[in-house]
Structure formats: structure tokens, C-alpha cells
Amino acid sequence: DRSDLRVIHCDLWHDNIKLHRGRLLPFDFEDTVWGFRIHDIAMAMLDLLEDTGTHRYRELLPEFRRGYESILPWPDGEMEIFQVGRLLWKVNWFARFQRQWLERFVKSHLPTFREYERTGIVKCGVEE
């Protein structure tokens, strides 16, 4: 597809990927949708960002991209909009299923939303 629309996993994070005989194998396909490769990459990179923090993420992202581009060209589009969208999805998930954690989640991510609104960049651990 010229627009890069295809079936994507849409929930690639470390608990949905296992290493088997030197290969990364994704599983848990319940969130599979029609989407774009940049969307799938954004989901995986958001997990990496949340696990490692902004500084380490900025070091690891170019390495991931280099490895990705050894197999496929890097897709067009901006990851950040998909990452912010996923964080908003998480707010909705907490509101529906884990209401007791909603306020904590929102407070911890509000600086991230504000930083994105101000700069267009997603950063974790941003201080207000």
C-alpha cells in the first residue's frame, strides 16, 4: 500500500515480545488494527521511553532506527502524535478499569502532555 497502511500489532511493548533462538517474536495480538508502521514503532518506542527515561531513550532511538533501516526504510510520519494518543488511551483505560490509579496516572503524565503541547516532543519525567 502506497500510504503504508497495513495490519499492525499496535501493542508492541516488552511484555508482548519474547526472545526465542535469537529472534524477537511478538505475541498478544488482541489490539491488532489497520495502521501504519510508524504507529507500531511509536508504541514500542513509548514503552522504551517510559522504561529508560528521556536521556537514555534519546541515545537508544537512533540505534533502533539503524537496525530497523537495515531491514526496511524508516516510515514517514511523526511518532510523537501516536505516543501522545497512546498516553491518552491509557488515561481512558485507567478511568474505566483502574479508577483508584487514575489521579496518580494523570498527575504523573500531565507534565508530559504539557511539554508535548509546548514543543511537540514527548518526554518522560518532565518537571513542571
Q: What structural domains and CATH numbers belong to the chain?
A: 5-119 (3.90.1200.10)
- Who contacts 106 (Cβ-Cβ below 8 Å, separation ≥6)? 91, 94
Write down the mean pLDDT value for the chain. Answer: 93
pLDDT digits (tens, 9 = 90+) for 95-111: 999 999 999 999 999 99
pLDDT digits (tens, 9 = 90+) for 40-77: 999 999 999 999 999 999 999 999 999 999 999 999 99
Pairing state of beta strands 23-26 and 17-20?
antiparallel
